[in-house]
Chains A and B, each alone.
Chain A
Amino acid sequence: MDSSIKNKIDLEEKILTAHQNNDGVKLAELYAKAAYTTSNLNKACFFMVNAYTLALECNHPDTLSFFQFLQKYDREK
């Protein structure tokens, strides 16, 4: 299997597990990783919205940088 596809599947699995465990911190970080590793802007913003939302909820130290990412593309203010 192409390694990038494998990484993607790995990430998706980790995200599902974190959802099941209700682990907001982990989930925020995984969504951010998904955002940073995709080259499609819309997909990246979709993931980053999730990362930012969860970060807000758990007061994650990266909340501001997630916000700035979205703000840069006019997706949040």
Chain B
Amino acid sequence: MEKTARLNQVCLPVDEANGLPNEHYTCPSVFKEEKDILLFGKWSGLAVSAQIPNIGDAVPISFQGTPLFIIRTKKNKVKVFQNTCRHRGMILIDRVKSIEGAIRCPYHSWCYSTEGSLISTPHVGGPGRNLHDAIDRSELGLTEIRSHVWMGVIWINLSGDAPKFEDNMKELIDRWSDFDRPLFHGGKESSFTIEVAANWKLAVENYCESYHLPWVHPGLNIYSKLEDHYHIEHKNKFSGQGTRVYQQLKDGNGNVFPDFADLNAKWETAAEYIAVYPNVLLGVHRDHAFVIILIPDGPEKTYEHIHLFYSKENTPEQLRLQNMKQWKLVFEEDVPVVEGMQRGRYAVNFDGGRFSPAMDNPTHCFHCWVANEVQNGLKHKK
């Protein structure tokens, strides 16, 4: 079957569809295609703003080989820049640091403000001369990458042409408006990274569905049973699952985390887990939220950067630790199945697999998005 036909097959109704073909999980050139279309062309998660809490904080991050850095500017704004000097292309920020004044390039010391403008060009017109007619500083500021902060996540659109974040994500922003308030990162112990030997999309697929709960997360399933879950599907944007029986974590003395203020009554027992396409997995509960940013490293390796957030700054440390451990266990339980699906993709006669029309709808929703976007993207290129 040729490529278009196979991708069309993915977008059939869930009871007839097949999943994405193997090459979407194993092939470097398809990975590159998807990188351009699905990651660079859309709003992708890059980091969390809690990584740069103070003015001047700067962190270099390479995103799919593109050197970037995030910074909290003097005006207290989160910005993302290409980490490349406008002079000879030197990397500007080579480690996590705090910028006191200007960003000085380590090579010939051109200086940029934290807002990105080029403010000085030492000796550019010869020794002791910082001016030259050919060097127009107003045209040589740092290249800013479109970014937006929501749910504590710094989202970026590298291609620069995606619809505005707020418009693009309107349905989810509205759905979760109760959580659209300051989220307090739980600190060092509340973030961890899991390395998975699998294509990033498998982490999304596994996250979207509750079908595997009884088998992969037996502990979770004791109180959060399959029948308590519902699907969440929004075509072309996000999908996932919700539960109606969320129970708050308690420590030995019966203490719980404080709730987010003014929540709708629904959230007393509900929790929702949504994969925001392409690479961000979010979870919300009455008393905490988490984000997982998937950073692919080639077709068969993914870093899952996990961060937990609370409604207030100083929540009990022991409880935070307990919560982190609980989630870590759940996410680690998923690793063998995600990696197993990756290995399964080497079976030459595997046709992408079938979906349970009752249980796999959110996963199918994601496959369908990938198939559509890849087809559109390739058409566009031609």
Decide whether A and B assemble into one complex: yes
Q: Tell me which of B125-133, B184-192, B273-281 binds A.
A: B125-133
Q: Does A60 contact B (CB under 8 A)?
A: yes
Cβ contacts under 8 Å, A59 to chain B: 100-102
| Least Cβ–Cβ distance between A63 and chain B, in angstroms | 7
| Least Cβ–Cβ distance between A23 and chain B, in angstroms | 13
Within residues 26 to 45 of chain A, which ones have a CB less than 8 A from any CB in chain B? 42-45
CA distance in complex: A49, B130 (Å):
7
Q: Number of A interface residues at 8 Å Cβ cutoff, please give it.
A: 23
Cβ contacts under 8 Å, B123 to chain A: 46, 49
A53 engages B131 (CB within 8 Å): no
Cβ contacts under 8 Å, A74 to chain B: 131
B131 engages A77 (CB within 8 Å): yes
CA distance in complex: A48, B104 (Å):
16
Q: Does B80 contact A (CB under 8 A)?
A: no
CA distance in complex: A52, B131 (Å):
14
Q: Does B308 contact A (CB under 8 A)?
A: no
Q: A53-B109, A53-B111 are in contact. Are A60 and B122 (CB under 8 A)?
A: no
Q: Does B213 contact A (CB under 8 A)?
A: no
B128 engages A57 (CB within 8 Å): no
Q: Does B145 contact A (CB under 8 A)?
A: no
Partner of B128, one of A42, A55, A63, A77: A42
Partner of A70, one of B101, B103, B119, B130: B130
Most central of B101, B119, B123, B131 by chain A CB within 10 Å:
B101
Q: Does A8 contact B (CB under 8 A)?
A: no
Cβ contacts under 8 Å, A11 to chain B: none
Partner of A49, one of B100, B103, B122: B122
B102 engages A57 (CB within 8 Å): yes
B111 engages A46 (CB within 8 Å): no
A50 engages B102 (CB within 8 Å): no
**Contact string against B for A residues 61-77, beta-carbon threshold 8 Å, 1 for contact and 0 otherwise:** 00100000010001111
| Least Cβ–Cβ distance between A5 and chain B, in angstroms | 22
Q: Does B26 contact A (CB under 8 A)?
A: no
Partner of A57, one of B104, B127, B130, B131: B104
A53 engages B101 (CB within 8 Å): no
Most central of B109, B128, B130 by chain A CB within 10 Å:
B128
Q: Does A9 contact B (CB under 8 A)?
A: no
Q: Does B120 contact A (CB under 8 A)?
A: yes
B101 engages A58 (CB within 8 Å): yes
Cβ contacts under 8 Å, B104 to chain A: 53-54, 56-57
Within residues 119 to 172 of chain B, which ones have a CB less than 8 A from any CB in chain A? 119-120, 122-123, 127-131
CA distance in complex: A53, B120 (Å):
7
The chain A residue with its CB closest to the CB of B129 is A75
| Least Cβ–Cβ distance between B350 and chain A, in angstroms | 56
| Least Cβ–Cβ distance between B85 and chain A, in angstroms | 14
CA distance in complex: A57, B113 (Å):
9
Partner of B127, one of A42, A60, A63, A77: A42
Partner of B129, one of A43, A45, A56: A45
Question: With A56-B102, A57-B103 given, can you name 17 additional A-B contacts, CB distance below 8 Å?
Answer: A44-B128, A48-B128, A49-B122, A49-B127, A49-B128, A49-B129, A49-B130, A50-B122, A52-B120, A53-B104, A53-B111, A53-B120, A56-B111, A57-B104, A58-B100, A59-B102, A63-B101
B→A interface (CB under 8 Å): 100-104, 109, 111, 119-120, 122-123, 127-131
A→B interface (CB under 8 Å): 42-46, 48-50, 52-60, 63, 70, 74-77
Pick 28 A–B contacts, CB within 8 A, sort by A: A42-B127, A42-B128, A43-B128, A45-B128, A45-B129, A46-B123, A46-B127, A49-B123, A49-B127, A49-B129, A52-B120, A52-B122, A53-B104, A53-B109, A53-B122, A56-B101, A56-B102, A56-B104, A57-B102, A57-B104, A58-B100, A58-B101, A59-B100, A59-B101, A63-B101, A70-B130, A74-B131, A75-B131
